[in-house]
């Protein structure tokens, strides 16, 4: 399934795959090199898989496939490898990553001169694939950042003079939904529209995650022939996180009734029921710690959040703007540290095997969503000593 009936990213990938397949099957002429431009990893992997199927036999993989990283290997070495015929394989495929090294500061005249010389007389038994994933091309190219536009123009003026350009634009939410529905149909499974929407929304239209989670859902619903909204909410972590961010939204907005209703929904939808209390508490603590960092570093937009939150402590893309808004509802860091202190006390209580775990969570959420009462100087001093 080429997916060419959908957005630009799928269309460009479909054309590339068709061209590669035709060259392998019908001996159609093949360009000496291609540039995969864009950071949509899902489409990049589809292009790579097509090349491997067409030109890299499993038994010759070690002899005809090279993955070169320009951060550790020069372009001169890569071109030398392309020019040198392999004694063990009739055809060579060379993927060249970290292409941004060619565009870092400093003149790269020698490097581009070497590329010009190679492409004047390229080796017909070698295929070069340049992976330019340092450029982000949005689904709507009119919204492309100026920095990315400049990088893309530089890419087309240089490598684009010799290579075919394949634009791997980000997949839009609508295209991601269509892909998920069609892929489920190929497995003779109906993906309900509201389930497709939740799957895509919960994972921020991240196609690699969507493909992985859809595979799990197909296994989970095997024999039933249908994936429902409830299946997505049960199996997809991002959907569970969405409910949690709705809960923290109610808490930060000081809406205790709504917060309690959302808590009950979380507990009732969880297969573990009250036994999932520790997990919910962990996610609450993590989210409030993220809000504390956002407030400390004065993060105001979703682009800055990836610099403020380190790897392993980041949030799903769909939640970035919501969490920034929630964090900014707190007037000071003291309010967030109070929330973390309340969560820590509830955690201690839950681990002491209370008779009613639900009640512990209800009391915590009510306290978090309620304006703290003014304290006397003596009580404030005691609290400081305790902390």
Tens-place pLDDT, residues 287-333 = 999 999 999 999 888 778 777 877 557 677 777 888 999 999 998 99
pLDDT in tens, 225-264: 999 988 887 777 666 667 788 899 999 999 999 999 988 8
- Could you tell me the pLDDT band of residue 199, with boundaries at 50, 70 and 90? confident
Q: Which residues pair with 35 in a beta bridge?
A: 130, 165
- Could you tell me the pLDDT band of residue 70, with boundaries at 50, 70 and 90? very high
Q: Please count the other Cβ atoms lying within 10 Å of the Cβ belonging to residue 282.
A: 12
Domains for the chain: give ranges and CATH numbers.
Answer: 8-167 (3.40.50.300), 173-235 (1.10.8.60), 239-386 (1.20.272.10)
Residue 384 confidence (pLDDT): 47
| Residues 129-135, mean pLDDT to the nearest whole number | 94
Helices then strands, each counted (H, E), the chain:
18, 7
The two three-digit tokens of residue 312, written as one number: 């392993």
Residue scoring higher pLDDT (179 or 206): 179
**Mean pLDDT over all residues of the chain?**
86
Residue scoring higher pLDDT (273 or 370): 370
User: Residue 75 in contact with residue 111, Cβ under 8 Å?
Assistant: yes
Radius of gyration of the chain (CA): 26
- Could you tell me the pLDDT band of residue 351, with boundaries at 50, 70 and 90? confident
pLDDT at 220 over 60: yes
pLDDT at 275 over 70: no
CA 115 vs CA 92, 156, 164, 277: distances in Å: 17, 14, 14, 60
Q: Please count the other Cβ atoms lying within 10 Å of the Cβ belonging to residue 215.
A: 12
Residue scoring higher pLDDT (387 or 194): 194
- Range with the poorest average pLDDT among 3-12, 61-70, 174-183: 3-12
pLDDT in tens, 321-332: 889 999 999 989
Q: How many CA atoms lie within 13 A of 92 on its CB side?
A: 25
Q: Is 156 helix (H, G, I), strand (E, B) or coil?
A: helix
Q: Say which residues have a Cβ less than 8 Å from residue 97's Cβ, sequence separation at least 6.
A: 67, 68, 69, 70, 131, 133
User: Residue 108 in contact with residue 102, Cβ under 8 Å?
Assistant: yes
């Amino acid at each position: 399934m080429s997916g060419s009936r959908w957005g630009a990213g799928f269309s460009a990938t479909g054309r590339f795959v068709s061209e590669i397949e035709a060259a392998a099957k019908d001996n159609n002429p093949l360009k000496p090199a291609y540039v995969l431009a864009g950071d949509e990893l899902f489409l990049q992997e589809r292009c790579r898989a097509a090349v491997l199927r067409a030109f890299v036999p499993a038994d010759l993989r070690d002899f005809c496939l090279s993955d070169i990283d320009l951060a550790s290997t020069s372009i001169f070495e890569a071109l030398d490898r392309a020019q040198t015929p392999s004694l063990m394989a009739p055809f060579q495929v060379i993927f060249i990553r970290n292409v941004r090294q060619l565009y870092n500061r400093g003149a790269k005249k020698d490097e581009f001169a070497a590329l010009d010389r190679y492409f004047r007389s390229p080796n017909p038994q070698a295929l070069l694939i340049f992976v330019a994933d340092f450029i982000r091309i949005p689904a709507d190219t009119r919204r492309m950042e100026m920095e990315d536009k400049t990088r893309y123009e530089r890419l087309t003026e240089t490598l684009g003079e010799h290579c075919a350009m394949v634009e791997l634009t980000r997949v839009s939410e609508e295209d991601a939904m269509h892909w998920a529905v069609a892929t489920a149909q190929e497995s003779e499974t109906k993906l309900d529209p509201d389930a497709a929407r939740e799957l895509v929304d919960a994972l921020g239209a991240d196609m690699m995650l969507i493909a992985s989670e859809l595979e799990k859902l197909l296994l989970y619903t095997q024999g039933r022939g249908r994936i429902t909204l409830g299946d997505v909410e049960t199996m997809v972590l991002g959907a569970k996180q969405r409910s949690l961010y709705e809960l923290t939204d109610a808490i930060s907005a000081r809406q205790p009734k709504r917060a309690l209703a959302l808590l009950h929904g979380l507990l009732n939808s969880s297969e573990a029921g009250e036994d999932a209390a520790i997990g919910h508490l962990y996610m609450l603590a993590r989210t409030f710690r993220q809000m504390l960092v956002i407030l400390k570093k004065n993060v105001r937009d979703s682009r800055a959040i990836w610099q403020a939150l380190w790897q392993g402590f980041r949030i799903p893309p769909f939640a970035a703007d919501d969490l920034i808004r929630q964090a900014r509802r707190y007037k000071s860091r003291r309010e967030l540290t109070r929330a973390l202190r309340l969560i820590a006390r509830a955690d201690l209580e839950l681990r002491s095997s209370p008779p009613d775990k639900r009640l512990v969570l209800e009391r915590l959420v009510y306290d978090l969503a309620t304006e703290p009462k003014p304290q006397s100087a003596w009580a404030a001093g005691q609290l400081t000593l305790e902390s």
